[in-house]
Amino acid sequence: MARSLVANTWLAIAEFAAKPDRQSAVVAGVEARIERVIAADTIRSANLLASRDGLRVVAFIWVDDPDGFAALHDSWDAIDEEQPARVDKDETARLTLCRCVSTSGDPTFASRSTDIITFDHFETGSKAAVEAAASAEHGVLGTALLRDDSSANTYILTRRSRIDRSARRYNVFRIWENR
């Protein structure tokens, strides 16, 4: 399903570290967790991004508001309590409530897209965050700037055309097909 980020959209972000040979298992575990919270009517949709280098998985989970995030957080924690022995400590993630503060172009991402998705996490106000947010490089189709609820962290999701050679220097992800 194609999802577009627009200003004032609320979502939860969960970043997972994965060992190179475990990314598929991490994705399967996150998919199962998301299916459970969707079945419990806690959320309506989510997208997973898996890094091409096999080291990261990022879940974008759409929530209606901070109260919806609180319900999601409770469900997420309940799943951890039920299955603590099955999860490698390096493959766990905490949920972060974020709000999309601005967009440019079209930051839609869809599972069948051939576009390149980059996702970066910065300390808010850092030189790297300012430079990344201000960049308008060739090949950028859309950008979404997100901030966590404390405004301490900035996240930048960028959709780039497949021909954008500069994307090699970014954390490049592919969208994991929802089953």
Sign, CA torsion 35/57/175/64: positive
111 contacts 176 by C-beta, under 8 angstroms: yes
pLDDT confidence tier of residue 133, bands split at 50, 70 and 90: low
* Helix 23-39 and helix 66-82, axial crossing angle in degrees, nearest 10: 120
pLDDT at 99 over 90: yes
Report the helix count and the strand count for the chain, using DSSP H and E: 3, 8
Which sequence spans correspond to the domains of the chain? Answer: 10-176
Q: Which fold has domain 10-176?
A: Alpha-Beta Plaits (3.30.70)
pLDDT tens digit sequence for 73-96: 888 888 777 765 555 555 567 789
pLDDT at 100 over 50: yes
Of 67, 64, 72, residue with least CA distance to 14: 72
pTM, to two decimals: 0.81
